[in-house]
């Protein structure tokens, strides 16, 4: 889920009453490809041999399709306000809903019990500190979950001589994961909010990138061999908001 590029340009388009911004990346690819991401970003990957005028012509030809894709993804965009980290708020963990409960006690801590995430705090009114405690809880559980699922996915991938990666975690807003040049896999801590089969999809996707860095036919053949239903999992993941 990473994109290598050498030269970039940002252009704005108007199609009827609609406007959209497009990021053009000139890179080592054979064919021009237009990608609309779930967060509504529009990225064009173009061969070096194309000049910008030719690229813009191709984008204009696909403008109707681009708007249609953006409209499709817009229904999954988050419509709720920023979390206030107060009792009663809903949080997702592995695809299930949990309610936040806050209890006063002498030390800060967080734990899950039943359908609730309990935060223990000496000062219940300190929302900033409660936010830190909740995010720390999610990060800790994300690492444990991802390491467990990595082991499971790697058991299938290793027969294709995929190397075992070092896992890194980071809270991100636009990507679920990426594969580093040093053989490491970076995963978004927010991914722990998605269903487990979606977590497995992201991990398997990045494992395949360790063998084939680009989204070429060999990459997709390997991904399909390891996870035949990856497209259904990807579709489900696109409905998860972060």
Single out the residue of 134, 137, 103, 136 nearest to residue 121, CA to CA. 103
Task: Give the per-residue pLDDT at 72.
Answer: 72
Could you say which of 3.30.2010.10, 3.40.50.800, 3.40.50.10420, 1.10.3720.10 is the CATH number of the domain covering 78-242? 3.30.2010.10
**DSSP class of residue 78?**
-
Whether 3 has a pLDDT exceeding 80, the answer reads no
Higher pLDDT, 174 or 133: 133
In angstroms, the CA 34 to CA 49 distance is: 16
Task: Give the per-residue pLDDT at 5.
Answer: 38
Task: Give the per-residue pLDDT at 81.
Answer: 64
Structure tokens at 223: 């991904």
In angstroms, the CA 214 to CA 207 distance is: 12
Residue environment code for 122-158, b if the CB has 16+ CB neighbours within 10 A, otherwise e:
eebeeeebbeebbbebbbebbbebbeebbeebbeebe
Banded model confidence at residue 77, pLDDT cuts 50, 70, 90: low
Task: Give the per-residue pLDDT at 16.
Answer: 80
Query: Edge to edge, what strands does the sheet with 7-15 contain?
Result: 7-15, 18-27, 42-47, 33-36
Q: Mean pLDDT check: name the lowest of 14-28, 114-128, 149-163.
A: 14-28
CA atoms within 13 A on the CB side of 199: 24
Determine the Cα angle at 174 with ends 173 and 176, to 5°: 95
Task: Give the per-residue pLDDT at 76.
Answer: 55
- Across residues 32-54, what is the average pLDDT? 88
Whether 167 has a pLDDT exceeding 90, the answer reads yes
CATH 3.30.2010.10 maps onto the chain at 78-242
Q: Mean pLDDT check: name the lowest of 4-8, 43-47, 53-57, 85-89.
A: 4-8
């Amino acid at each position: 889920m990473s994109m290598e590029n050498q030269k970039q340009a940002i252009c704005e388009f108007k199609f009827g009453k609609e406007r959209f911004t497009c990021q053009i990346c000139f890179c080592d690819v054979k064919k021009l490809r237009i990608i609309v991401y779930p967060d509504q970003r529009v990225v064009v990957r173009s061969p070096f041999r194309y000049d910008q005028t030719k690229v813009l012509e191709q984008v204009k030809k696909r403008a109707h399709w681009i708007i249609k894709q953006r409209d499709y993804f817009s229904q999954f965009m988050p419509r709720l306000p920023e979390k206030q980290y107060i009792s009663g708020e809903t949080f997702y963990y592995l695809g299930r809903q949990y309610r936040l409960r806050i209890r006063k006690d002498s030390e800060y801590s967080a734990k899950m019990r039943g359908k609730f995430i309990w935060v223990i705090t000496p000062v219940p009114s300190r929302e900033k500190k409660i936010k830190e405690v909740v995010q720390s809880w999610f990060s800790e559980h994300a690492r444990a979950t991802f390491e467990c699922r990595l082991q499971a996915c790697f058991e299938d991938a290793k027969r294709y001589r995929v190397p075992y990666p070092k896992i890194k975690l980071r809270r991100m807003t636009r990507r679920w994961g990426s594969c580093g040049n040093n053989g490491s896999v970076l995963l978004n801590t927010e991914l722990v909010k998605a269903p487990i089969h979606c977590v497995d999809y992201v991990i398997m996707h990045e494992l395949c990138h360790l063998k084939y860095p680009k989204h070429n036919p060999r990459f997709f053949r390997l991904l399909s061999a390891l996870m035949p239903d990856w497209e259904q999992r990807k579709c489900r993941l696109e409905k998860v908001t972060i």
